Amino acid sequence: MLKNKIKIFIVTLVSIIPIITPAMTAQIHNPVVPPSTYGDQISFVDQRLLDQTMRHTLQPGDEGPHFHRHIPVREWWYFNVAFDKPDSELRNWSAMISFNRLCKMFEEPDMLFITLYDDKNKTYGGVTTGERGTLQATGPGVNVFFEDSYAKGEYPLWHVHTNDSYIDQHHRIIIDLYFKAEVLPYWVWGNTGQGLPMSPFGYYSINSCEVWGTIVLDGGNYTVHGTGYHDHTWALLMIGGSSLVWDWFSIHFTNGLHGFIWQIFPGTLGSYLHIRPGFGWITDGQNYTDFKVFTLEYLESVDTSIPGVTRPHLFKVSSEMFESTLTLRLQTVNMHEYLWGKPPFFDVGLWEGPCFVTGTLSHDDTHQNLSGIGIAEILRIL
């Protein structure tokens, strides 16, 4: 069974804290700061949890590939976008594109995800796979190819193009988008910023990008414009075996703030750990409020295509860090389902798609109501 073989390229929170030496710090370059378009939205942000220099440094070597014949790193370059701008011809649609080099326990470990989500609860696209070597990448910078699809560029601008006739048997999809960072880079883990292609693990995110370009769908040509997200992850250390829970969200609020929520833990823990460490923050692009400990409750669940397996549909996030309090409700809609294993007894389920978000953010006597949209990623290894 796949669940007895698969090794997921994820490291736990306690396993990924790097050792920072004075010599490393001396090599840090000053980060590039894009001009803020949001003003002083969260000037009350508490900075005590953050090493700002380390967490906002990104070099072209960080953006390039880290897999090597001597370092069996699992790696992906990920992009998503909500077409929320008034001038977008596919307004309120969303898209996700990800170039993945996974472990050899998959029969075809190189994967390309291309998915469109419309505003009427329909999805287009899916995933196409290839043997090792189908995905090619060079550095410095992002220069990733999967047959006729590619992502190219360096912070703060990337060009993403997909053209895969096998991704959807019923629809023809061509996507051509530009992602321009509107925020500082942010290291989720690794905190390297050293531009080292031999680094064994790292995960940085770009929480907001202006996105524009064209989408061809079944012969129609559409000009699109929206708000996007980009990240790049690689890891040598792995958790092997079965039963894993992964809940992940990138969020864009209507007041110009952005959010990130991610928890990962062994499924055997079930509901016994109600409060878990994770990765979470709210940002205006230059200032960050970090929420490292929070509750993530499942308020509603829905059935999946896997017999006897449900997935959460409505979430509640609650956290208090120093003088800051965050409460969010996240409801998934129009999720695309990806399954691995032998039907009907699948071993791995992945559900990804848009979500609607409401909540509040408070600090001392300052209080903000929040509403927005995002992309949710729900992974279960059974």
pLDDT tens, position by position, 310-325: 999 999 999 987 788 9
The pLDDT of residue 277: 65
What's the average model confidence in pLDDT over 243-270? 88
pLDDT per position as a tens digit, 126-142: 999 999 899 999 999 99
Domain count, the chain: 1
Q: Which residues pair with 223 in a beta bridge?
A: 214
pLDDT tens-digit map of 89-112: 999 999 999 999 987 666 778 999
> With DSSP H G I counted as helix, E B as strand and the rest as coil, what are the percentages for the chain, rounded to 5?
5, 55, 40
Q: State how far the Cα of 218 lies from the Cα of 134, in Å rounded to an integer.
A: 26
Beta bridge partners of 240: 7
What does each C-alpha distance from 68 to 40, 133, 136, 142, 297 come to in angstroms? 43, 12, 12, 16, 39
43 vs 36: CA distance, rounded Å: 13
Please state, in angstroms and as integers, the Cα–Cα distance from residue 194 to each residue in 29, 280, 281, 287, following that order: 9, 23, 23, 22
Provide mean pLDDT across the span 59-76.
Answer: 84
Give the CA distances from residue 167 to residues 82, 133, 231, 274, 367, in Å, rounded to whole numbers and listed in that order: 21, 18, 22, 39, 45
In three-state secondary structure terms, 67 is coil
- Write down the mean pLDDT value for the chain: 82
Distance CA(73)–CA(89), nearest Å, equals: 39
Report which of 288, 345, 287, 291 is spatially closest to residue 318, judged by C-alpha positions.
291
**Per-residue pLDDT reduced to its tens digit, 258-279:** 999 998 877 766 554 456 668 8
Residue 229 parent element (H or E):
strand 220-235
**Nearby residues of 239 by Cβ (< 8 Å), 6 or more positions away:** 7, 8, 10, 11, 12, 266
pLDDT value of position 24: 25
| Phi, psi values for residue 165, rounded to 5° | -75, -10
- C-alpha to C-alpha distance for 84 and 90, rounded to whole angstroms: 9
- Residue 180 sits in a domain of what CATH number? 2.40.370.10
Classify 126 as helix, strand or coil.
Answer: strand
365 vs 23, higher pLDDT:
365
pLDDT in tens, 208-227: 999 999 999 998 999 999 99
Residue span of the structural domain in which 160 resides: 2-381
Contact (Cβ atoms closer than 8 angstroms) between residue 234 and residue 67: yes
